[in-house]
Amino acid sequence: MVAPLKVGIAGLGTVGAEVVRLIEQQSRTLSSRCGRPVRVVAVTARSKAKKRGLDLQRLDWAKNPLALASDPGIDCFVELMGGAGEPALSAIEAALKAGKSVVTANKALIAKHGLKLAKAAEQHGGALNFEAAVGAAIPVVKTLREGLAGTAINRVYGILNGTCNYILTRMEQEGLSFAECLKDAQRLGYAEANPSFDVDGHDTAQKLAILASLAFGTKVSQGAVYVEGISSIAPEDLRAAAELGYRVKLLGVAVRTSKGIEQRVHPTMVPKTSSIAQVMGVTNAVTIDGEGIPPITLVGPGAGGAATASAVVADIADVARGIGA
């Protein structure tokens, strides 16, 4: 039998716990789709004592993320802690340096250090997969990297933050306050640990910078994105827009212009009859305008443990199949 892919996971919160469950539940399917078993063998998080609804007894508990990343007993390091800096950065660098493949859902880190990490992956022969970092379950990274590898892209835009779209939808449909809707988004596991990243537009900017770099082959540059969030929007604003036949959506837009790549994130009034106005709740939608082909729109769940785990496990499956390394 082909040797199993041995996986180590750092971070057992909303996403990490679902990844452990999904790999367990789908073990036979993964084994047949990848041609080899996929096994979680070691994990770590801040607190070993925390109740997580997972049976972790047969798994090794690493003393910290760096120790897990350097563990010779794992082939693939999965980073699901979050944060643009430590300990995620050093752990990923250590795993790549040791020749392991890395899977992460961390858009903050990829937007800031993606280029350096991609170079390290290339140098040491591992894969760096981050499908879940943009649009959770929507395979938009794969679409840009692989499906449209031969197509020039002129524009990428869409709804890239589940928390904001969930808040705007419930405020409009139920007349609820911004604060109430945000609380529910946090309870449902959609929001970032610091939800101002969501509502102030930075999470969308990070995702847009990643998409722009994939679409246009440019350096990821979050600093180049104009950012305005939704935190000052009140139910009355949404009602006023509705009376005029519009809905408000937080859009991220990256477009090729004669002066270079323009990137912006801001609330936008879209006609109620447009397809983007129909994207409700935690759903995300990304439209890609490619040269010589009609626009392609991908729609799907943009946040939450199960949706994100789906993309993380797909990235792990690619590692098991030897794709990307």
In degrees and rounded to multiples of 5, residue 160 shows phi and psi of -115, 0
Site string for ligand NDP, 268-297 (x = CB under 6 A): ------------------------------
Counted residue by residue, the chain has a size of 325
> C-beta of 237: minimal distance to ligand HSE in Å?
21
Q: How far apart are CA 148 and CA 62, in angstroms?
A: 39
169 touching ligand HSE, by CB under 6 A: no
The backbone region for 113, taken as left when phi is positive above 0, alpha when psi lies in -120 to 50, beta otherwise, is alpha
For residue 50, indicate whether it is catalytic: no
Q: How far apart are CA 201 and CA 39, in angstroms?
A: 36
158 touching ligand HSE, by CB under 6 A: no
Say if residue 245 is exposed, middle or buried (CB neighbours under 10 Å; 0-12, 13-18, 19+): exposed
190 touching ligand HSE, by CB under 6 A: yes
CA dihedral 135→213→70→22, nearest 10 degrees, is 20
Q: What per-residue string of b and e applies to 18-38 under the rule 16 or more CB within 10 Å gives b?
A: bbbbbbeeeeeebbeebebbb
- Of positions 77, 166, 190, 216, contacts ligand NDP by CB under 6 A: 190
Q: How many amino acids of this chain bind ligand NDP (CB under 6 A)?
A: 29
Q: How far apart are CA 287 and CA 267, in angstroms?
A: 17
> C-beta of 227: minimal distance to ligand NDP in Å?
17
Site residues (CB under 6 A) for ligand HSE, limited to 301-320: 302-303
Select the binding partner of residue 45 from ligand NDP, ligand HSE, none (C-beta < 5 to 8 A, by kind).
ligand NDP
90 touching ligand NDP, by CB under 6 A: no
Identified catalytic residue from 100, 112, 207, 249: 207
Q: Are 208 and 113 in contact (CB under 8 A)?
A: no
Site residues (CB under 6 A) for ligand HSE, limited to 233-252: none
Site string for ligand HSE, 199-218 (x = CB under 6 A): ----x---------------
> C-beta of 281: minimal distance to ligand HSE in Å?
11
163 touching ligand HSE, by CB under 6 A: yes
- Of positions 1, 3, 50, 244, contacts ligand NDP by CB under 6 A: 50
What value, to the nearest 5°, has the Cα angle with vertex 104 and ends 102 and 107? 135
16 touching ligand HSE, by CB under 6 A: no
Q: How far apart are CA 142 and CA 126, in angstroms?
A: 17
87 touching ligand NDP, by CB under 6 A: yes
Please name the residue that has the structure tokens 């709740």.
Answer: 281
Say if residue 199 is exposed, middle or buried (CB neighbours under 10 Å; 0-12, 13-18, 19+): buried
Residues that bind ligand NDP in the complex, under the rule CB under 6 A: 10-16, 44-47, 50, 65, 80-82, 87, 105-107, 132, 136, 189-190, 192-193, 303-304, 308
Catalytic residues: 207
Q: Which residues bind ligand HSE (CB under 6 A)?
A: 136, 161-163, 190-192, 198, 203, 302-303
